Amino acid sequence: MNNEVAHPVANPGRYNAVENREFPFTANPVWGEQRFCEDCFRSFHSPLAPFTFDKHSVAISNTFRDPCVTLSRKYQEWIDARIEHDGSSTLRAHNPDMQAIPEKILLIPGLLEPRLLFLPLKLSLSKHVDHVECWRDRIVFRDLETSINRLAEAIAGKVAEQGAIAIVTHSFGDWIARAAIAMSRQHRVTAMVSLAPAMRAGFFPSLLFGLSGNLIPEIKVLMNRDSASANLDCDDRVRRLVIWSRFDESLRSVPLDGISNLQVQRVWATHFSIPWQPNVLHLVQNYLLHET
């Protein structure tokens, strides 16, 4: 077989290696209509082009909407039609790397936090993933068992059949997510980002405990070191990123060196600014959508 790679732009008359369909060009397009950065240029020479993505792109649709790529209008219309016809699941079956791209992202707030706190992150991720949902739960006085079971039910299923789920948590929301993943025999979570996760109590929980004792279930959990750090290694199959804030008035960081498939970063932020700071939004988006 000829080793020459079928390139959708440079060789528009060649067959697509995935779909075995001809690209809708009758002549080579004018090179000035295409602009490639070095990494994108290499990705387009993949044997699965154009159904591949690189660090600049998120999924097939975003590959062709990347700022460093401008496609001819006819080719863009053809790509849009293929996406509309086949859907992401068909394209994913041809490219195993796309299994890491989530079909849905769940944002799980913490203790005494309105969902509005996640609005900047939701807007940022919604540009790339159709289903970004801020998890609905009580912000305080949770029935912890009920909250865990509800989330476990929401993430249950097979990735191959229903698509992958990514989770972004903040504060006590991470404790709920870890418990739900740990208790699930089969779940769809492939990646999780934890923003200032609840693993050890800091100043504010201690203050609330002094005022309320064990009245607040979430505070009761945090004030017990063993309970607060439960399920740290909830599932080593899940790619995880923990982002600690350097000025956290609510929680303390814990060592996570022994946990596999987990990265740790620290940012200049407070406990309540970390979910909406632009640098954190970039970290979350890059980790969930640009890595495989």
The model's pLDDT over 30-60, given as tens digits with 9 standing for 90+, comes to: 333 333 344 443 333 333 334 333 333 334 3
Q: Domain ranges in the chain?
A: 1-99, 102-289
What pLDDT sits at residue 231?
A: 97
Q: Is residue 188 exposed (0-12), middle (13-18) or buried (19+ Cβ within 10 Å)?
A: buried
| Confidence at residue 290, expressed as pLDDT on a 0 to 100 scale | 76
User: Whose CA is closest to 283, among 157, 193, 162?
Assistant: 193
The whole-number pLDDT of residue 66 equals 40
Note the pLDDT of residue 53. Answer: 36
**Among 29, 39, 81, 74, residue whose Cα is nearest residue 60:** 81
Query: According to the model, what pLDDT value does residue 58 have?
Result: 37
The CATH number assigned to the domain with range 102-289 reads 3.40.50.1820
pLDDT at residue 14, as a whole number: 35
* DSSP code of residue 141: S
pLDDT in the model for residue 262 = 97
160 φ/ψ angles, rounded to the nearest 5 degrees = -65, -30
pLDDT at residue 185, rounded to an integer: 85
Q: How far apart are the first and last CA of the chain?
A: 29
Whether the CB-CB separation of 24 and 74 falls below 8 Å is answered with: yes
How much is the pLDDT for 181? Answer: 97
Within 8 A by CB and 6+ apart from 130, the residues are 103
- Secondary structure element (H or E) that encloses residue 142, with its range: none
Which pLDDT belongs to residue 237?
93
Q: How much is the pLDDT for 100?
A: 56
User: How far, in Å, are 55, 74, 134, 181, 200 from residue 66 at the CA level?
Assistant: 11, 17, 26, 33, 40
Alpha carbons 182 and 276: distance in angstroms, whole number: 28
> For 58, which DSSP code?
S
DSSP secondary structure code for residue 22 in this structure = B
Task: State the burial class of residue 246 (Cβ atoms within 10 Å of its Cβ: 0-12, 13-18, 19+).
Answer: exposed
Residues of the chain falling short of pLDDT 70: 1-100, 291-292
Give me 199's structure tokens: 């693993």
Are the CB atoms for 117 and 275 separated by under 8 Å?
Answer: yes
CA separation for the pair 87, 226 (Å, rounded): 45
What stretch of H or E contains 62?
A: helix 60-63
Whole-angstrom Cα distance, residue 181 to residue 285?
A: 21
